[in-house]
Structure formats: structure tokens, C-alpha cells
Amino acid sequence: MRSDAQLLLLDKDVVESLLTTGDVLTAVERAFELHRLGEGRVFPLIRESLRTGGVFGIKAGDVQSESLLGFKAAGFWPSNRSQGSEPHQATIMLIDPATGRPLCVIDGNAITTMRTGAAGGLGLRALARPGSRRLCVFGTGVQARIQVMFALHMIPAIASIRYLTAARAADAGFESCFSDRCEISHATDANEAVSASDIVITATPGGGALFSADAVQPGTHLNCVGADTKGKRELPEGMLERVRLFVDDRVQARQIGEAQWTPDVACAELGDVLAAPEKVSRRPEDITVFDMTGLALQDLTVAQMLYERADKSNLGTRVPWPW
């Protein structure tokens, strides 16, 4: 037995100290490229409801040429809110593909938040109309905040934000995050807010349609985050039939994303757009949708970056793990 083997543990504080916007964007864009080339594999998704009221899932994949293998065990436990905790929970494990031994266990909450925000930012850069100035966001939680943060980073022209909440009440904390960057205001009429916007971001639990299909004006781009499980949706019926649809992964989007409701609608994968943006001719009147379900490769490329950086800097906790 190898008695000197160790397992590296990276907790929340270490992860957050190492995550930067630029590095995560680079890692996530690399994940899209690996997926496009077929060098990175996405394994069949596990996503199941629990008797506790939670939803548990596993996203796994590998990049054989880079000896990268791992998975994220994650889900949504709404009852955590009553305990003052975050309902989204995630843990990532990197594994040595040559031996099957675990290399690193990583708190996945911040990684999930950041990589999803980065994916949304890349979608906006590729698909939103240049010069888009008016943004509408549904939700004010962790994911809504990171989506808006990356939107402002990637689309400097954004000058105003209108946000909507399930309780139809203003969120002072949310406003304070962005008030020094642009005009921000609470809206109560979803259709009016959508119709007046160039970009719409939906970042809710996916409990149902958030607005009417006819509220979306020609030229609008939508990033849809909340549909990540069978039965979830944020877009109204009939919406996808009149848009240009983009996804992170066709199979996964048709299983758990907005595309589950119209699986026969043609779609393109964002990785192809990022690799050759000149091949995507966006007419000013086109309505575009990025159906975001989250790739295992995004978690793994970010996790690999953190693992290498933590190992080099001697960060984290090393636990004896003989074999």
C-alpha cells in the first residue's frame, strides 16, 4: 500500500480566495471548446427528487488527453433557507483516471455560482446585440447577482437594470450591489419590464412562466438559468418556436432545460458560436435564447485550475489517504 498518498480538501474560504472573474471566464470558455471538439466528454446526467423535498444530481465528465476526470454532486434543498443557509449545495471531486484514486475534494458552491455566471457572460458576449443598454432580471438571489455581475463585465454599454421579485417587493441589498454601476429599479409588471429591455435574464427556481411570449420584442436576447430539472420552466409556452435557440449541450437541454418543452426545435451549441462567431449572423430583429443547463466540464476545468493553484501555493488541508 502507498502510505504517503494524500487527499487535498479545499473548503469554501480557500475556493473563494482563489476564484477570479478572468480566470473563471478562461476556464469556462475552455470547457466549451473541449466540448465542441469532443475532447471533453459529458456523461449521462443524474437528477432525482428526494423525499426530503430536495433535488440531488450528479454531473460528471472527463478530458482523457489531460488526465482530467471528476464529478459534481449537487442539488437544491429549499428547506435550508429556514436554517439561514444556501439551498444550493455542491461538492466536486477530482479523480486520478489512471488509478481511480481521489485527488481533491472541493466545496462546489462558489464554483457553481461563478462558472454559471461566466457561461451567461459568454452567452451575452456572443449573442446579445452590440450596444445593448437595458437589462431585465428575474430574481435577486445568488445566481441572479452573479449573472448581472458578469453581464455588466461583458456588456459595458448596459446603463439600466430592472429587476423583479417573487414577492413583488423591492430588494435593497440587491440594488446596493449595482447602484454605483448603473441605474437600477424594481419593477412589478413583468411584461412591461421585458418589453422595454434589450437583455432578459431569468434566474429563478423555475416554477413556471414568468411573462407572456408576446412581451418579448424583436432583437431581445434571453439568458435562461432556472430550468435545470425535468418539469421546470421560466419561459412561456410558444416562446421557443419563435426564437433562435442556443444551448450548452443539446441532449442535456432537451432533458432538463427549457428545450425539454419543445425538443424538436432546432438549436445550436454555444461552443460552436464561441469558436466561430463570424459564422453566426444575428439580424437586428432576431430574438435569441441561451438555454443554460450547466456542463460538467465547466465544473471540472474550474476545479482543475483551483487544484493546481492550491497545490502549488500549499493551500487547503491534506488528509492521509493510503491505498
pLDDT computed for residue 232 by the predictor: 96
Over pLDDT 90: what percentage of the chain? 93
Closest C-alpha to 138, from 54, 222, 73: 222
Spell out the residues 6+ positions from residue 231 whose beta carbon is closer than 8 angstroms to its own. none
Cell numbers at 2, concatenated: 502507498
Distance CA 163, CA 168 (A): 10
User: SS3 for 148-192, per residue?
Assistant: HHHHHHHCCCCCEEEEECCCCCCCHHHHHHHCCCCEEEECCCHHH
pLDDT of 117 above 90: yes
Give the residue from 233, 182, 223, 228 showing the smallest Cα distance to 200: 223
**Packing angle of the helix pair 296-313, 21-37 (nearest 10 deg):** 130
pLDDT tens per residue across span 299-312? 999 999 999 999 99
Q: Residue 291 pLDDT > 70, yes or no? A: yes
> Which amino acid is located at 272 in the chain?
D
Does 105 score more than 70 pLDDT? yes
What pLDDT shows up at residue 281?
A: 84
Q: pLDDT tens digit string along 309-323?
A: 999 999 999 999 998
* DSSP one-letter code for 221: E
Q: State the residue for C-alpha cell 432537451.
A: 254
Pairing state of beta strands 317-320 and 6-10?
Answer: antiparallel
Please report, for residues 201, 223, 284, 298, the alpha-carbon distance to residue 120 in angstroms, rounded to integers and kept in the order given: 9, 7, 20, 12
Q: How far, in Å, are 24, 62, 185 from residue 39 at the CA level?
A: 20, 8, 44
Phi, psi of 53, deg, nearest 5: 100, -5
Express each pLDDT in 55-79 by its tens digit. 999 999 999 999 999 999 999 999 9
Cβ–Cβ < 8 Å for 91, 107: yes
| Other CB atoms within 10 A of residue 58 CB | 16
Distance between CA atoms of residues 231 and 138, nearest Å: 19
Pull the grid cell for residue 277.
462567431
- Residue 2 scores a pLDDT above 80: no
Q: What percent of the chain has pLDDT over 70?
A: 99
pTM for the model stands at 0.95
Task: Say how far apart CA 262 and CA 264 lie, in whole Å.
Answer: 6
Q: For the chain, which domains are there?
A: 6-111+297-320 (3.30.1780.10), 117-294 (3.40.50.720)
Q: Mean pLDDT, the chain, as a whole number? A: 96
**Could you give the 3-state DSSP secondary structure of residue 241?**
helix
**DSSP H/E element including 55:** strand 55-63
Write down the pLDDT at residue 156. 95
| 1 pLDDT above the threshold of 80 | no
Residue 316: which of 3, 5, 15 has the closest Cα? 15
